């Protein structure tokens, strides 16, 4: 019996794809709900009345708050699963960053430096978004419309909100750039995954290029 290696995909690549897929899904949920609050914030400029506060887009504002909170919490949990799968990549990123700061790094091309800065921006902004999100999720009175006194934990809640918002903007921009850099890997592995799930694959069809153990992050 001859094994068709064209349909093979490594367990590491498959696991990476599924974790990335769930991370992407939870990220989209958090991003869309975050964009809702970015353009339709509570209150108004300098304490004035916000004319857009009562606008309903698909759901009530309270529902969007729940979607954003639980979508963000899911993204954090999945990101924690994502880290051990790519631990060597994170260590390598940290080492390369230190070498760049010290000026002792090997000559790096424009593409490699661009990739490094995008990944670093994504990592730092993602950590900031996660930590500030946990603050709003677990600290009583952290939300502006909670009706409770400002807990004043390190900063006031307006500052926490600004940090969370602008870190989210940076993370969203970096995530888009990250996807463009790794688009070839994403499309190749996605085609491979879904090809294996097709119930009626024609014997004469040409399957996607085999992927045995491809490392996405560089």
- How do residues 52-78 score in pLDDT, each as one tens digit? 656 677 877 778 888 888 988 888 888
Task: Give backbone dihedrals phi and psi of 156, rounded to 5 degrees, phi first.
Answer: -80, 165
Domain segments of the chain as ranges: 109-181
Residue of 139, 206, 214 lying closest to 184 (CA atoms): 214
In this structure, are residues 45 and 11 in contact, taking their beta carbons and an 8 Å threshold? no
DSSP string, 72-84: HHHHHHHHHHHHH
Percent of the chain with pLDDT over 90: 3
**pLDDT tens-place string over residues 150-183:** 777 888 888 888 898 899 889 889 988 988 888 8
Between CA 150 and CA 153 the distance in angstroms is 8
Is residue 215 predicted with pLDDT exceeding 50? no
Looking at every residue in the chain, the average pLDDT score rounds to 75
Average the pLDDT over 16-22 and give the result. 84
Task: Return the higher-pLDDT residue of 16 and 122.
Answer: 122
Query: pTM of the prediction?
Result: 0.68
In this structure, are residues 125 and 117 in contact, taking their beta carbons and an 8 Å threshold? no
């Amino acid at each position: 019996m001859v094994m068709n290696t064209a349909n093979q995909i490594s367990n590491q690549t498959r696991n990476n794809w599924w974790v990335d897929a769930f991370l992407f899904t939870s990220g989209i949920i958090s991003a869309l709900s975050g964009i809702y609050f970015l353009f339709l914030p509570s209150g108004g400029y300098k304490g004035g009345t916000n004319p857009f506060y009562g606008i309903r887009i698909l759901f009530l504002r309270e529902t969007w708050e729940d979607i954003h909170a639980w979508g963000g919490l899911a993204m954090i949990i999945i990101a924690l699963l994502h880290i051990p799968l790519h631990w060597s990549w994170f260590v390598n990123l940290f080492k390369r960053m230190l070498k760049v700061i010290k000026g002792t790094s090997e000559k790096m091309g424009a593409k490699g430096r661009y990739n490094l800065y995008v990944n670093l921006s994504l990592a730092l902004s993602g950590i900031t978004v996660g930590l500030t999100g946990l603050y709003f999720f677990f600290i009583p009175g952290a939300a502006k419309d909670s009706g409770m006194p400002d807990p004043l934990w390190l900063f006031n809640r307006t500052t926490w909100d600004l940090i969370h918002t602008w870190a989210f903007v940076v993370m969203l921009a970096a995530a888009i750039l990250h996807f463009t850099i790794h688009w070839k890997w994403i499309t190749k592995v996605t085609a491979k995954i879904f090809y294996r799930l097709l119930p009626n694959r024609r014997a004469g069809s040409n399957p996607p290029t085999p992927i045995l153990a491809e490392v996405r992050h560089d």
